Homo-oligomer: A and B are copies of this chain.
Amino acid sequence: MKRIKVLKSVLVSNKQRAQENRQQFDRMNSLVINIIASPGAGKTSVIERIVEYFKKKRKILVIEGDIRGQIDSKRLAKLGVDVIQINTVTACHLDAFMTAQVLPKIDKKYNLILIENVGNLVCPAEFEIGEDYKLAILSTPEGDDKPMKYPLLFHLAKVVVINKCDLLPYVDFRKNQAKKNILRENSKARIFEVSAKTGDGFGKFCSFLEKELNAKEKKG
């Protein structure tokens, strides 16, 4: 596990820097997913399930964005996956410059790069970091109205994972209403229902990811 502290540069626009990052990721034929969710929605647990599914088949890197600490990096490193920690210190989101500082530390060709953004539904959606696409996680205890309250993320996310479906009997979450609310922001969103706790739904979700990985590798 590698760890860096980052400071923001303002010399080049974030969008431009994100584009440069994307070019570098593309040269490695890596599928890069920017994972965005509320604190505690289960980003790390979802990543753990994806890592378990793919770790024998593909080379995976996880980039962990946190204000402080390495709690999630340590969890993931236990699975034997490569992890790079970014501590944003005060920033409530990753940006393209922080991500750019990670690039020189990437010394292997990875098939899949999962970037766990800071837990926040607002600003992480506003900053591209060089990802192929954004994946939003919505956990059932948060309520089905979140896509309406935090519209930009759900507008931009190509994939939305509804997590903690094991808690559906105990929380006031109308699954169909949640899907309607997501699709109202983005009619093309791919929605998957999972429980990172039980593993339910990851077969279907990871098959989808596998197709995306295959498509990316063909391009190379």
Q: A residues bordering B, Cβ < 8 Å?
A: 38-41, 66-69, 71, 90, 92, 118-123, 126, 139, 141-143, 145-146, 148-152, 164, 166-167, 170-172, 197
20 residue pairs of the A-B complex, CB under 8 angstroms, read: A38-B142, A39-B121, A40-B141, A40-B143, A40-B146, A41-B142, A66-B149, A67-B152, A68-B151, A69-B149, A71-B145, A92-B92, A92-B122, A119-B149, A141-B167, A166-B170, A167-B167, A167-B170, A167-B171, A172-B197
Contact among B66, B122, B141, B145 with A141 in the assembled complex (CB-CB below 8 Å): B141
Given contacts A92-B92, A121-B119, A167-B171, contact A39 B151 (CB under 8 A): no
A contacts with B: majority SS:
loop
A68: chain B residues within 8 A (beta carbon): 148-149, 151
Contact among B71, B141, B151, B172 with A67 in the assembled complex (CB-CB below 8 Å): B151
Q: Told that A71-B149, A118-B122 touch, could you supply 9 new A-B pairs with CB distance under 8 A?
A: A39-B121, A40-B141, A66-B149, A92-B120, A92-B122, A92-B123, A120-B120, A167-B167, A167-B170
* Contact across chains for B39 and A71 when beta carbons are under 8 A apart: no
Cα A9 to Cα B167 in complex, Å, equals 43
Cα A213 to Cα B145 in complex, Å, equals 33
Given contacts A68-B149, A69-B149, contact A40 B142 (CB under 8 A): yes
Residue of B nearest to A139 (CB): B141
* Contact across chains for A149 and B39 when beta carbons are under 8 A apart: yes
Cα A31 to Cα B31 in complex, Å, equals 51
A41: chain B residues within 8 A (beta carbon): 142
A146: chain B residues within 8 A (beta carbon): 39-40
Residue of B nearest to A88 (CB): B122
Residue of B nearest to A164 (CB): B141
Q: Considering the complex of A and B, which 6 residue pairs feature the smallest CB-CB distances, nearest first?
A: A40-B142, A92-B122, A141-B141, A38-B39, A38-B38, A40-B143
Cα A151 to Cα B170 in complex, Å, equals 29
